[in-house]
Amino acid sequence: MEIELSSSFLRKAKKLSKKEKILLSQKVDIFRANPSDPRLKTHPLTGKLRGLLSFSLNYSKRITFLYIEPGKVLFFDIGSHDEVYR
Look at residue 80 in the predicted model and tell me its pLDDT: 84
Supply the pTM of this predicted model: 0.89
22-56 pLDDT, tens per residue?
999 999 999 999 999 999 999 999 988 899 999 99
**CATH number for position 12:** 3.30.2310.20
Specify the number of domains making up the chain. 1
Q: Report d(CA 56, CA 38) in Å as an integer.
A: 10
| Domain that includes residue 24, residue range | 2-84
Quick one: which of 80, 75, 86 has its CA closest to 6? 75
Q: Contact, 67 vs 83, CB < 8 A? A: no
